[in-house]
Amino acid sequence: MNTIRLTNNRAVWKALSIGEQEQRRANNSDQRGANAVYGEKYKLSEAEQWELPPDEEDTFGVALSNGRRVLVQVQAWDNMMIRTKRGMNMKDKPFRLVSVRLMDAQTKGLYSRRRMWLGVWGQQVGELTLEEIYWVLSPAL
């Protein structure tokens, strides 16, 4: 399993299902080119406006190193894709996009303005809970 932090200015795409790929191929009049794999584009900085509901959500409490209690809200979207310009082909590597937000335990207000975005790749991604994914990078908070 591979977990990385994604910057807030990155865009991600929803992977097309096999049926959606076949439909796009059928709509292509000259039948040339590779099969499309990228669906709709989503900018991480505009997550509040997405019309894509998360596939999974969880909220749990933790204590920060300064002793303050916060609630961690974690959301995940499966089968997302990224594009790169550095020679790596990512068309066959869908991943799980995870959003982490910290909220004050008493007021339920946001602890920080921005979300932390994580990309999780690997065959065993579905076996991890959202809380386990959060703890992979918790020292960075």
Could you say which DSSP state residue 106 is in? T
Q: Which residues of 80-94 are buried (b: 16+ CB within 10 A; e: fewer)?
A: bbbeeeeeeeeeeeb
Identify the pLDDT of residue 96. Answer: 94
**pTM: predicted TM-score of the whole model, two decimal places:** 0.85
Q: CB within 8 A of 102, min separation 6: which ones? A: 70, 71, 72, 73, 110, 111, 112, 141
For the chain, list residues with pLDDT below 70. 138-141
